[in-house]
Structure 1
Amino acid sequence: MKKKIGFWKRNALSIVFLVLMVFSLTGQIYTGWNDHNDFLKSYGKPELDMSAYLASGHFLQATFENWESEFFQMALFVILTIYLKQEGSSESRPMEDPPRDKDGECIPLEDSPGPVKKGGFALKLYKHSLSIVLTLLFLLSFGLHWYGSFLDYNEQQLLDGLPPTTAIAYLGHSKFWFESFQNWQSEFLSIFAIIFLSIYLREAGSSQSKKVNAPHAETGE
């Protein structure tokens, strides 16, 4: 009889990263709140309470410009690894790997997910659900970054006695795109680094690394 695996062991990786995310977000909120209030005091303006800060452009812009870049690079990575390969990388499908049998993948098994058993439109969506959800999360984060950055920009304009802009006009502003591009480039660099470095370097026991004794040309985990 198989020993039942506990909840923590089954979900340890996602739990640890979720806890780290909550810890980091809490730190960001607290330090960002203090930083923004210091900024307002320098203009002789009243400080914001925490609830007001969480609705401010300063918080929304800082949070969602980062989420936007994360979901953008993940969506692209998921989609591009369908079609592109990198010899020797643990992040690539093997070079000799033939195209997947898409019809064969959709044959329901006893423990297959519900949409596979149901078939039809539900299955069509489920086959691409990962890239669809990551793309939607990117678009949502992009919109919230745009809105937050717009609020933050107009706050600065009003404090400086300058006219505010409209949300549509701000979509073409260099400040907004500077915030996006500075995050996108770092995400693409990190993906390049793991793709390329995993050709030559190893980490024993990690699913992101090839076996320590694997030749550099071996492609895939």
Structure 2
Amino acid sequence: MNKHSFFYRNGLSVVFVTLFIITLMAQALTGWKQHNQELQEDQAPTIAFSTYLGTGHFISATFENFQSEFLQMALYVVLTVGLRQVGSAESKKLDEPEDVDREPQPGKDAPGPVNAGGWRLKLYSNSLSIAFFALFIISWGLHLYGSWVNHNVEQAAKGLPEENIIAYISQAEFWFETFQNWQSEFLSVAAIVVLSIFLRQKGSPESKPVDAPHMETGK
């Protein structure tokens, strides 16, 4: 019998999933009110909350944030394979071998693809970055779709003709939404990479030990 409770063993994921659900609901409710206010200003009829969840306004706002987060994690996973930052807790060591670089060995406790070998092992060896890039592409596509639908709703409210998705994606609006999210994610990664050189958080796996020298690389 496991001596630890379910929450003790899974607390990090439980807390973050709970925070995600709460903030997503808060976003949906406040976004619904904002959207209805915009509709009233354009003399258009307001919509129910359930209807709002299928609108371009909600889809765009939601996946605009998702896609930048998944891109950040995908690039972080891939770039930390080969790039280093001296002194950072987020970097592999400059010269010493790392456990993550060793060749996978089959065994009774190894994941199934490791024991299977071949293409399954090759795919599994890169599955984390593949998953993040796939989630990024899906989220980016849904952000584009939602923004396009919402753009045409605004066009109709102003008495202007609708535009096809090719015409919309060639405009600055969608790319402005995209790049303002990407740059914030890249900044946050750069911040933790650099700040972890000089600053500490006792007990956190994202920090070096409190008494570690500034130029010691890795955890």
TM-score, with structure 1 as normaliser: 0.95
Which one-letter code corresponds to 2:45 in the other structure?
P
CA pair 101-152 structure 1, distance change in 2 beyond 3 A = closer
Partner of 2:69: 70
- Alignment partners' CA distance in 1, 2:108 and 2:6: 23
- Alignment partners' CA distance in 1, 2:204 and 2:218: 13
For the 8 Å contact 2:90–2:193, the answer to whether it is kept is yes
- Alignment partners' CA distance in 2, 1:100 and 1:113: 16
Which one-letter code corresponds to 1:172 in the other structure?
S
| Alignment equivalent of 1:128, drawn from 119, 126, 129 | 126
Partner of 1:207: 205
Q: Does 1:167 align with 2:165?
A: yes
Q: Deviations over 1:20-79 (max 9, x none)?
A: 000000000001011101111112211111221111111011000100100001100000
Which one-letter code corresponds to 2:169 in the other structure?
L
- Alignment partners' CA distance in 2, 1:190 and 1:132: 22
Partner of 1:140: 138
Q: Deviations over 1:160-205 (max 9, x none)?
A: 1111110122122100000000000000000000000000000000
Runs of 4+ in 1 over 6 A off after TM superposition: none
Corresponding residue SS for 2:161? coil
Partner of 2:36: 37
Alignment of 1:38-57 (within 5 A): 38-57=37-56
- Alignment partners' CA distance in 1, 2:146 and 2:121: 36
For structure 1, which segment, 111-120 or 70-79, has the greater mean C-alpha deviation from structure 2 after superposition?
Answer: 111-120
- Alignment partners' CA distance in 2, 1:3 and 1:170: 55
| Alignment equivalent of 1:183, drawn from 181, 188, 195 | 181
Which one-letter code corresponds to 1:216 in the other structure?
H
Unaligned 5+ runs, structure 2: none
- Alignment partners' CA distance in 2, 1:58 and 1:115: 41
Which one-letter code corresponds to 1:145 in the other structure?
H
- Alignment partners' CA distance in 1, 2:52 and 2:69: 23
Partner of 2:20: 21
For the 8 Å contact 2:71–2:136, the answer to whether it is kept is yes
Task: Give aligned-pair identity as a percent.
Answer: 51
Number of residues paired by the alignment? 219
Unaligned 5+ runs, structure 1: none
- Alignment partners' CA distance in 2, 1:218 and 1:101: 19
TM-score, with structure 2 as normaliser: 0.96
What RMSD, in angstroms, separates the aligned Cα atoms of the two structures? Answer: 1.5
Which one-letter code corresponds to 2:179 in the other structure?
F
CA pair 101-26 structure 1, distance change in 2 beyond 3 A = closer
Partner of 2:114: 116
Corresponding residue SS for 1:105? coil
For structure 1, which segment, 195-204 or 37-46, has the greater mean C-alpha deviation from structure 2 after superposition?
Answer: 37-46
- Alignment partners' CA distance in 2, 1:100 and 1:165: 53
- Alignment partners' CA distance in 1, 2:107 and 2:33: 54
- Alignment partners' CA distance in 2, 1:97 and 1:150: 49
